[in-house]
Structure 1
């Protein structure tokens, strides 16, 4: 045990615990996990990345169907095209992040 007059004793349990905590904090700062709010924001962004192209496809298809009086000839394929485009862009975004 150290009496305080010399260098700290490496075998002291309190010193070892402080060093361990310091190392954990340093690793925590380097490998910081995103917060829950950030994760929820990412989920929201992913949702909109998929839904927005689908809605554009529905609106464009509906307009084309009303213009040419074709029933669902344009709406259904453009909806599926929007879904594919949205899923592809979301996948690319997740791979990048």
Structure 2
């Protein structure tokens, strides 16, 4: 390759990098300014708590039907599901905070 071809290749790469950087900046601005992003995150956190809670209740009801005990497995699994869901939501919020 000649020096002229090297210069053209370098310019093409620099142009591509600049284009990608501008696109990323526009996406970050749109991401942080959008109220839909906040609502989406709110919904994600809600589902992150709701799904383990409902799964815990279902498991607890199943255990209560199978095991004769003074312990209410539904309540135990409910609390475990809520705790797991809150931990899950906390990780999601931390990850989204780190990405910004």
Range into which the TM-score falls when normalised by the shorter chain: 0.5 to 0.7
- The corresponding residue for 2:11 is none
Whether the aligned pair in 2 keeps the contact of 1:53 and 1:82 (CA below 8 Å) is yes
Over 3 Å counting, the alpha-carbon distance change for 1:35 and 1:64 in structure 2 is same
Return 5+ residue gaps in structure 1 as ranges. Answer: 1-27
Distance 1:56 1:36 in 2: 31
Over 3 Å counting, the alpha-carbon distance change for 1:73 and 1:62 in structure 2 is same
For the pair shown, the structure with the greater C-alpha radius of gyration is 1
Could you tell me the TM-score, scaled by structure 1's length?
0.63
Over 3 Å counting, the alpha-carbon distance change for 1:57 and 1:29 in structure 2 is same
Return 5+ residue gaps in structure 2 as ranges. Answer: 1-24
Q: Which runs of 4+ in 1 moved over 6 A?
A: none
Over 3 Å counting, the alpha-carbon distance change for 1:82 and 1:29 in structure 2 is same
Q: Which has the higher helix share?
A: 2
Q: How many residue pairs were aligned?
A: 70
Distance 1:85 1:66 in 2: 23
Whether the aligned pair in 2 keeps the contact of 1:62 and 1:72 (CA below 8 Å) is no
- CA deviation profile, 1:19-39 (whole Å, cap 9, x unmatched): xxxxxxxxx848512411121
- The corresponding residue for 1:84 is 83
Could you tell me the TM-score, scaled by structure 2's length?
0.61
Measured on the aligned residues, the alpha-carbon RMSD in Å equals: 2.0
- The corresponding residue for 1:58 is 57
Query: Which one scores higher on RCO, CA 8 angstroms, separation ≥ 6?
Result: 2
